[in-house]
Amino acid sequence: MTDARGVPIGIAVAGANAHDITLLRATLRSVPVRRPKVLGRRKQHLCLDKGYCAESTEAFARRLRYILHIPRKGEVQAKRRAGQRARRWVVEGSHSWTNRARRLLIRWEKKVGNYLAFIHLQFAYIALKHAGVLG
């Protein structure tokens, strides 16, 4: 999970055969900062990909008072015009930064705690680099 600028703020680790929907609650719970209260005009949005398109996801997001953005399955995105930049999900940039750490690209650690520690270390590096502390 990332914030609006692509800085990672939460993660849930499971096996490769686990579907993303099953990890949604764990990912939202893993955010270390308490979520601010939802006030009148300051709505909080949750953008997910097509893999999360399910009634249970929508009900869960409504219960947490998120405005949900999920493209529907079968929808085709509009083609971009000439000269216009491609629209990318913000989280894809965060995945790219995380995959630059060779140790995380292939999971060699057998214990989940060790792997999660290396992921948190990479997330701290990304956050500090994005804040301009590391240059």
pTM: 0.76
Which structural domain, as residue segments, surrounds residue 92?
A: 20-131
Does residue 6 lie within any of the structural domains? no
Please give the DSSP secondary-structure letter assigned to residue 132.
T
To the nearest 10°, the Cα dihedral for 65, 67, 69, 72? 70
pLDDT at 74 over 70: yes
Q: Is residue 45 part of a domain?
A: yes
The answer to whether residue 7 sits within a structural domain is no
Q: Is 55 inside a domain boundary?
A: yes
Tens of pLDDT along 39-67? 777 788 888 888 888 899 899 988 988 88
Strand partners, 12: none
In a domain, 26, yes or no: yes
Question: Would 14 be classed as within a structural domain?
Answer: no
Place of tokens 């790219």: 96
Look at residue 1 and tell me if it is in a domain.
no
pLDDT band at 85 (very low <50, low <70, confident <90, very high): low
Total structural domains within the chain: 1
- Classify residue 60: in a domain, yes or no: yes
Q: How far is CA 129 from CA 29, 108, 116, 125, in A?
A: 25, 26, 20, 6
Q: Tell me the two tokens of residue 20.
A: 């993303």
